[in-house]
């Protein structure tokens, strides 16, 4: 089985982006993202109501890193260190060499290729460094921007689950896209 160790935290650099650990100093930026109904539109999680909600979320993210159960990076544009989004590997299944990728980006930074660059960095890290065999992304079928991003990065639609998730009194569909590491030694 895979051994996961996020200590020291893996900072990723490529082009104009740096992916670093989310810190308590990012509370205002995390709050701005997670309290924005448009940003959270396709993420079935409660909106942050107070900065304390954002701080609690940051603490949860860092607990995942400490326990080596999941990892979340702050997306920053060099030379600025300000968090403009987050990208994560969650719901890790080391026994299956599979994990889920998720992401969120500030509205001001969307449609600029930033998430495409961040996704490529994390996919490379997941396959080459962590040795995962497959990645999956779970999205709302109405999230066409996320679908385009995944298809552009060679993810393949695996399944469309009707009314799979119950959230806020409504049943929501889930679509799963996946990417297989054809170079993995675990296969």
Query: What confidence tens digit (pLDDT) does each residue in 87-141 have?
Result: 999 999 999 999 999 999 999 999 999 999 999 999 999 999 999 999 999 999 9
Please check whether residue 3 lies inside any domain of the structure.
Answer: no
Q: At 107, which CATH number?
A: 3.40.630.30
170, 162 contact by CB (below 8 A): no
pTM over 0.85: yes
Owning domain of residue 45: 12-180
State the total domains in the chain: 1
The pLDDT of residue 2 is 87
The pLDDT of residue 187 is 43
Q: How does pLDDT run across 8-17, given as a tens digit for each residue?
A: 999 999 999 9
Closest CA to 136 of 95, 175, 184, 183: 175
Please check whether residue 1 lies inside any domain of the structure.
Answer: no
- Chain mean pLDDT for the chain: 95
Please check whether residue 7 lies inside any domain of the structure.
Answer: no
* Average confidence (pLDDT) over 43-50: 96
């Amino acid at each position: 089985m895979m051994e996961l160790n996020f200590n020291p935290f893996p900072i990723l650099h490529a082009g104009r982006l740096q992916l670093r650990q989310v810190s308590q100093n990012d509370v205002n930026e995390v709050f701005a993202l997670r309290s924005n109904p448009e940003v959270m539109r396709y993420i079935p999680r409660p909106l942050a109501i107070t900065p304390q909600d954002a701080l609690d979320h940051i603490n949860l993210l860092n607990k995942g890193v400490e326990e080596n159960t999941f990892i979340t990076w702050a997306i920053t544009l060099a030379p600025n260190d300000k968090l403009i989004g987050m990208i994560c590997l969650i719901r890790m299944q080391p026994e299956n060499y599979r994990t889920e990728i998720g992401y969120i980006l500030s509205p001001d930074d969307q449609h600029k290729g930033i998430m495409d660059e961040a996704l490529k960095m994390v996919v490379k890290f997941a396959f080459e460094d962590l040795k995962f065999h497959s990645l999956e992304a779970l999205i709302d079928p109405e999230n066409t921007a996320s679908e385009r991003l995944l298809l552009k990065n060679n993810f393949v639609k695996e399944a469309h689950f009707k009314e799979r998730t119950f959230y806020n009194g409504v049943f929501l569909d889930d679509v799963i896209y996946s990417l297989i590491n054809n170079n993995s030694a675990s296969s």
